[in-house]
Structures are given as C-alpha cells and as structure tokens.
Chains A and B, each alone.
Chain A
Amino acid sequence: MSTAPASVLTAAGRAGSRRSALMTAILVFTTIGCLDAAYLTYVHYQGFGALVCLGAHNGHSSCETVQSSVWAEIDGVPVALLGLIGYLGLFSSYLVTERINGELGRGLGFCIALIGFGFSGYLTYRELFSIHAICEWCVGSAVCMTVLAVLTGIRFLRGEPPALDQPAA
C-alpha cells in the first residue's frame, strides 16, 4: 500500500481548500443573483408599485422605466424570468457536477454563466444608450453574472480536484 508524501498532500489540500472557497463564492453569487431575479420577476407580475428604486426618469422610477421598456421582454417573456431560469440552471449544473458528471456540470455552469453575462451586457448597453435609465436591480444581476462567468470559467479550466484517497502517513 503506497502513501503519498506529506508535501504532496499539503499542496493538494491547499488546492482543495482554494476550490472549496471558489465553490462557496460561486454559490453566494448565484444565490444573490437568483434572489434579485426572483424579486424582479415577482414585481413584473405583481405590479411595479412594489419596485424599490433610487433613480428617477420622466417622473417615474428608473427601474420602472427599464422594466417597462421593450427590452424587458423577449417575445412576451420577461427577461427577469429568463434570468431566474438562468440562475436555477446554474444551481442545477452544480448538482450535475456533484451527482452525475463533474466535467459536464462544470461546462454547463460555465456556458449558462457566459450566456447570462453576454445578455446582461447587452441589456446594460440598452439601459445606458437606449432607455437612458439605470435599474439598480438589473445592474446587480449583471454584476453577479459577470463574476459568475469568471468564477465558473476558472472552475471549468481547473478541472477536478486531485484525488486524495490516501491519508497522510
């Protein structure tokens, strides 16, 4: 029965700990983004009166202006709902990583985060240059997606943590 040198195990332990910190950060940003998108989806269906916003635009809150714009929907489906589905998809990809296939799950998570990042970037461009109003909640989600695209990218490129099936001697 072979044993790994203590130095290798320590390095592997550090790598595992970094990965654990990475995964914790990913889960935190996914949760924040998910709550943000859930709130915007709720507001979309329940009424903009429930929308708390700092800015103002043409006598209305700037969030109301953004949420009422033609860019707030794709073919009748609110983009907030699409964002919520995206965050739930990210959670599902973490489950796939843990329970089914690590590489597939990490790739799926990276792909969803990249799509979210790309579309959030487009919507932020529209807020700045077409709607001329900023919705803090949308910016919050865009920041979460940007961070998640970076973190899930690192996680995907790093791959599996090294197997530590042997205890230190």
Chain B
Amino acid sequence: MASRKEQKEQARATRIAKEQQAAAQAQRARRLQVSVAVTALAAIVVAVAIVLSSGGSSGLKHGSAASAVYKTVNAEIGGIPQSGTTLGRPSAKVTLNYWGDLQCPICRDFTLGVGGGGLPEFIAKDVRAGIAKVHYESLCTATCNPADPTGGMGTFNVQQSAAYSAGRQNLAWYYIELFYRQQGAEDSGYATRKFINGIAEQIPRLNLGKWQAGVSSKVLVSQVDSSQTTGISTYKFNATPSFTISGPKGTASLGSGILTYSELAAAVKAVS
C-alpha cells in the first residue's frame, strides 16, 4: 500500500499531467486559429497580386496615365524624322528592317528594352545621330496564333494598317511605341477597334478622321500583306521580331529574336 507521501506525489503528478494536457490542447487550438488567419491573410495577398497583375485585359491607359505614356514615347522618339513606318533621317545610310506583330510580347520587349532588347539604345545612339533608320514591317505571329479565337489575319490587318495609317501622317512610330507599351495579354482578344482607337487618340498631333479612313483600307491592307509575304517568302521568317539590315556593303538577315544593342551595333558596322 502506498504511503501518504507517495499518494500526494501521485496526485501532484496527475494534476501536473492534466494541466500540461490542457495547456497543450489550448496551444493546439490557438495554433489552428492562427493558421486559419495566416491562410486568410495569404489568400488576400494572392488576390491583390492577381488583380494587380496586368493579365486578362488590355493595358490601355486613360487620362494622366495615358499622357505619361505619351511623354515617355515622345522623349524617346520626339524630334526624329519619320516617313511612313520609317524612323530616322532619310539620309541615314543603314536601314534596319524590323518585322513585328503589334500583339507579339517579344517584339514589345525588344521595342521597350526589356530582356536585353536593344531598340531604345539603338534609337538613342544610331537613329538620332543619323547613322541608321528603322523601318517597321508586318509579320503575323502572336495575332495569328490558332489559340486566339479573336485573332487571325483579319485582326492583324486592322491593327497593323492602323500603324501604317498613322504613318501617312508621319506618326507611325508613336502608334507602334504606344501600342507596345499598352499591349494586353496574348490571345485575350484585347486588340479591338476600341483599343486601336484608344491608342490613336493618345497621339495629340494625329488627325483622327484621316487616320480612321486609312485603317483597313485596301491600299494599306495590301501593304501589310506584301510585308508579310516578303518576310515569309524572301527571308523565311516564321517568328517575330525578325530583322534584316542594309547599308553600303549590302543586305544581311539578322534572324529572329531579341537583339541587344551590341548585336545591332555590330550589324550596323558590318554593312557600313
């Protein structure tokens, strides 16, 4: 039979064990509550990130945001002569022919200098200095992706002829730069007439009536088609951006993909 002292110790141990069990249960319950709160907080942060993500809609800006985009473009190409879809002085001896699709995200990166894209530096150093000019051509890639239910040559002709139409007022490069800077998600069908008109409306000097008359006009659509045919048949391009360069020493194909400024500068040197 246990002594009185042993009984007291046993009772104490039992009490301590119960207290520990209760404390552990309380801690588990609290941890579960905290984990629910943590999960809810994480869900809110993810939801905000998804909303902030530019996917799913066009990036067409309005009001002061649109003015800010225009100012950025104007700082890059303002003061450089334009003729049709060519940016640069007519006297420049080297011409970089750039085949692009306005819905192509890789063309956007090349044009905006993302992922090593060298066009902004090329414009700043070679085009502005009159060493080279850039001529924009059309090749349907992203817009003609079969996964895009609203894409195809119909959409392509509208959006590209819209740039050519701005080119009739020597403002094509404003249109091209503004389009790329507000490009929407690939295959999302964002490049509607409303979007295209919205881009045009951001160019202060563009006569919208004259511009509208040129969009989808037979002459400009055939110019888009001709550009596409040359890219595919003559140079065997199947992706955008694709490039050729011509100068006093001849013409060379630079292939497809993002070109860095050093690659462009080397190509200019090779044909000069």
Query: What is the interface of chain A, defined by CB distance below 8 A to chain B?
Result: 43-44, 46-49, 58-60, 64-65, 67-71, 73-75, 79, 82, 103, 107, 110-111, 114-115, 118-119, 122, 126, 130-132, 153, 156-157, 159
Contact = CB atoms under 8 A, between A and B. Distances in A.
Q: Output the residue of A47, A68, A132 with the most chain B CB within 10 A.
A: A68
B22 interface: no
Contacts of A49: 116, 257-258, 260
A92 B114 CA distance: 30
A132 B148 CA distance: 10
13 contacts: A47-B117, A59-B239, A68-B106, A70-B53, A74-B54, A110-B38, A111-B38, A111-B41, A114-B42, A126-B55, A130-B185, A131-B186, A153-B35
Interface of B: 27-28, 31-32, 34-35, 38-39, 41-43, 45-46, 49-50, 52-56, 59, 105-106, 108-109, 114-117, 141-142, 145, 147, 183-188, 238-239, 256-258, 260
Contacts of A132: 145, 147, 187
Given A48-B258, A70-B186, A130-B186, A115 B32 contact: no
Given A47-B258, A118-B43, A70 B105 contact: yes
A119 B48 CA distance: 10
A106 B33 CA distance: 14
B49 A65 contact: no
Given A130-B185, A153-B35, A157-B32, A71 B53 contact: yes
Contact of B49 (A43, A68, A70, A74): A74
Contacts of B185: 69-71, 130
A78 to B, nearest CB: 9
Contact of B55 (A60, A70, A82, A159): A70
B55 A130 contact: yes
A47 B117 CA distance: 7
A68 B54 contact: no
The binding surface of chain A is classed by DSSP as helix
Given A47-B116, A111-B38, A114-B39, A74 B186 contact: no
A160 to B, nearest CB: 9
Q: Output the residue of B39, B41, B186 with the most chain A CB within 10 A.
A: B186
A74 B50 CA distance: 9
Contacts of A69: 55, 105, 185-186
B32 A70 contact: no
Contact of A44 (B31, B43, B49, B115): B115
B52 A74 contact: yes
Given A73-B54, A75-B52, A126-B55, A115 B42 contact: yes
Nearest to B142: A58
A48 B105 CA distance: 13
B38 A70 contact: no
Contacts of B41: 111
B186 A48 contact: no
A58 B146 CA distance: 11
Given A70-B186, A156-B31, A159-B31, A65 B105 contact: yes
A73 B116 CA distance: 16
